[in-house]
Structure 1
Amino acid sequence: MIRTIISCLTLTLIIAGTVTAALAQEEVSGHPLISPYPGSDGGGETWRYDAYALITGFDFDARQAVTERIEGRITRLYFDNPDERSELEIFTNYREALDEAGFREIWACAGDGSCTTSSSRNAFYQANEMRAINGPNSHYAVGTLSFEGHLAYIAIGVGRHGTSIDIVETDEMDRGLVAISAEALAGGLDAEGHVRVDGLLFAHDSDELLAESAPALTALNDLLVQRPGLSLYIVGHTDMTGSLAYNLRLSERRAASVRTALIEDYGIDPDRLEARGVGPLAPDATNVSEDGRALNRRVEIVAR
């Protein structure tokens, strides 16, 4: 059934080139990445390059959606739902098919109290004009899919009457695909005394290590096994979004999660590892652009 929803789910995405100004939109009937649920009817528009407010959470105190600005080629689709199908049934079909294609969730919610409240169901529309989140049983998910080392962001919302699908094709590198090895880490330590560990991935705004972090953790384990006399500081870094106090705590919690994984899953001696967090205090790039902020969100190891 899933295969009838998604047309092969191969990412034949066209990554937009660097453009300095937004270009005019064009009407489209769909997108090669995803097909509408059977019985749905609709279409949408595409912009060759523009800014998009990606909804990554909901602030219940402020009663508004939490957004992150991204840029790229934007396709916005809206389909009327078949009357005889529930929001959950439609959303589950889309979500299972996307997961099968490698969808990596940033945030998801379901219904009042999770997505919005009964009196703030228009918050998604106010944030970025997503139409579908408009009922007590609405469902939403946002995440990424990889394409040739780049990221495509996908936001899907299913409400009582319709489904919104927003796709943003970016030039942002998917750093989760960077090859990493003990030898590369050792070379960085020998040359500089510290080295960035690409491929350590965390859930959005969390210290939860994602399963895709396994290759990076294995490389760290191999390094420590090959060099039994080596001890490390594991140092977490963030961008400057949010307060200093919050980012200092988040960066240390993320470093501690890496330390815990190496101890519990790989058997590394706890005395060889110390976790610290410096938040945004040692940036690797500018915090003005999203590309720079992405570089600043990292974990490094420092030889002790």
Structure 2
Amino acid sequence: MLLDVSLCTGVSKPAGQSTARQKGPRLISEPLPQGISALTPGGEWATGGAMQLHTVFSLAAAVGLLTVLPATAADVKGAKDPEFLKRITGSEIIWYGFAKFDEMPIALEKVQFDYNTSGFKDTKKQVVEGQRTTIYYKLPGDASTLEAVRQYQELLGEAGYKTLFTAADDNLDDGYNRFVAQIFPQAKKTDGLQYLHEFNHSQQRYAALEGTGPNGAPIYISLYAFIIEDGSGSGYSTMAKEHDIQKGNCILRVDVLQTKPMDQRMSVVKAAEIEQSIAKTGRVAIYGVYFDTDKAEIKPDSDAALTEMAAAINAAPGKKFLIVGHTDNQGGLDHNQDLSKRRAAAVAAALAAKYQVPAAAIIPVGVGMAAPVAPNTDDAGRAKNRRVEIVAM
């Protein structure tokens, strides 16, 4: 089920019973108003008053009664907690990002570098797509990475989430900030975040969890905590000053991805439009050929675009065309080069096998991230860069 309100460390007990509390920061909670009831994780209905909830589950009958906590004054402008997951008491949001549709890599094992090939070893990971929220919290006092990750992990576990992978320090990577480079590549290219991570990775902890939303779709949450040891660069200095980031502070990155299909907003380009664009510019971008993230198998809903591509190519008998695959900048250069080449080859093969295009008329080429048509700084730009092009030879 979907975790829907404030998380805290315990439920109050009657007089005479002890209540164990963890040291360190507590996840935010508030007393329930008198007379309000809510379902506890064990399934019992509990009357409000001074009682505090461990977790409150999303129920239609109770949704109007849930406590919503305001953002703190120190939060960056426009930032807010995920609607079903609240923050550790005393923390503030120092960076916030939201995308209606984006992809999110999930680490499933240690990231390692292969010095023989001067590249990363193949790392087991999962890439999921959907609505994504990314939040960086500065935690209060001397919170540790263990405290930061464990509190969320335990409470999410009680709500039915399962841990896919968790590790810390040298069990996450073999140094040089390689875990962040592979799992959060955009952070390495974002002002402020780049320098926030640059020298602060010797104390790090990660957990990835999977749960189920009210519509039955999977929800993925990743937690990455690290300790500030050093920092430099103008972007980091600005962030450090605005949020009083000090050596020893624990920073927690929380990513929440609610899986859903992408809204198909790009109409299929007709054969006549393809011919006109090629005649005018020598090329045309096609956005209606779909692949799963990090895959090269064409999805069935690509049929309309492939039909129009074939009609345009077959309207020019004797001519040759390049089928060019393009990616965004998520992932490594060599990986994206290979992925784009495999996707272009899949398109060329489909055109020849299913749409009667002469195989000799089309040549697949992959250029990876080398020719963007928009900045890769947000999901809209990255969506424009993930494309197939027909280029006249």
1:278 match: secondary structure: strand
Shift of 1:72: 7.0
CA distance in 1, matches of 2:259, 2:106: 21
For 1:156-177, what per-residue CA distance to the aligned partner results, in whole angstroms no more than 9, with x for missing partners? 369xxxxxxx66699xx84564
Read off the aligned partner of 2:107 and give its amino acid letter: F
| Structure 1 position 293, deviation (Å) | 2.2
TM-score (ref. length: structure 2): 0.43
Written as runs of structure 1 = structure 2, the 5 A alignment for 1:132-151 is: 133=209
* Whole-angstrom CA distance in 2 between matches of 1:223 and 1:141: 44
Q: 1:241: which partner in 2?
A: 330
Letter in 2 for 1:58: A
Paired residue type of 2:109: F
Which has the larger displacement, 254-263 or 244-253?
244-253
Deviation at 1:209, TM superposition (A): 1.1
| Deviation by residue 1:207-259 (Cα, 9 ceiling, x = unmatched) | 11111211111111121233333321001112223322222111111100100
Q: Which residue of 1 aligns with 2:97?
A: 51
Find out whether 1:297 has 2:343 as its counterpart.
no
Conserved 8 A contact 1:175-1:198: no
Asked whether the 8 Å contact 1:141–1:155 carries over to 2, the reply is yes
- Counterpart code for 1:237: H
Q: Would the aligned equivalents of 1:196 and 1:299 in 2 still touch at CA under 8 Å?
A: yes
How big is the shift at 1:73? Answer: 7.6
Residues 327, 336 of structure 2: 8 Å contact kept: yes
Normalized per residue, the structure richer in strand is: 1
Match of residue 215 from structure 1: 304
Between the aligned partners of 1:179 and 1:205, the Cα distance in structure 2 is: 23
- Note if contact 2:344-2:388 (Cα within 8 Å) is conserved in structure 1: yes
For structure 1, which runs of at least 5 residues remain unmatched after alignment?
A: 1-6, 8-19, 29-42, 88-110, 121-125, 134-138, 146-153, 159-165
Match of 1:22 in 2: 78
Report the Cα distance in structure 2 between the residues aligned to 1:117 and 1:169, rounded to whole angstroms. Answer: 21
Counterparts in 2 of 1:263 and 1:71: CA distance versus 1, 3 Å: closer
AA aligned to 2:351 is L
Unaligned runs of 5+ in 2: 1-59, 61-75, 87-94, 112-122, 135-155, 172-204, 222-255
Out of 220, 227, 230, which is 2:319 matched to?
Answer: 230
Residue 260 (str. 1) matches residue 349 (str. 2) = yes
Matching residue within 259, 267, 279 for 2:368? 279
Cα shift readout 1:46-100 (whole Å, capped 9, x = no counterpart): xxx95269644434233996678998789xxx79779xxxx9xxxxxxxxxxxxx
For residues 282 and 223 of structure 1, what CA distance do their matches in structure 2 show?
23
1:58 and 1:247 map into 2 onto residues whose CA distance is 18
Does the 8 Å contact 2:220/2:258 carry over to 1?
no
Which residue of the other structure, out of 52, 61, 71, is the alignment partner of 2:110?
61
C-alpha distance in structure 1 between counterparts of 2:346 and 2:166, whole Å: 33
Q: Residue 37 of structure 1 aligns with which residue?
A: none
Percent of aligned pairs with the same residue?
26
Pairwise CA RMSD of aligned residues?
A: 5.0
- Cα pair 2:128 2:259 within 8 Å, conserved: no
Q: Does 2:219 correspond to 1:156? A: yes
Tell whether the 8 Å contact from 2:219 to 2:258 is kept in structure 1 after alignment: no
Amino acid in the other structure paired with 2:335: Y
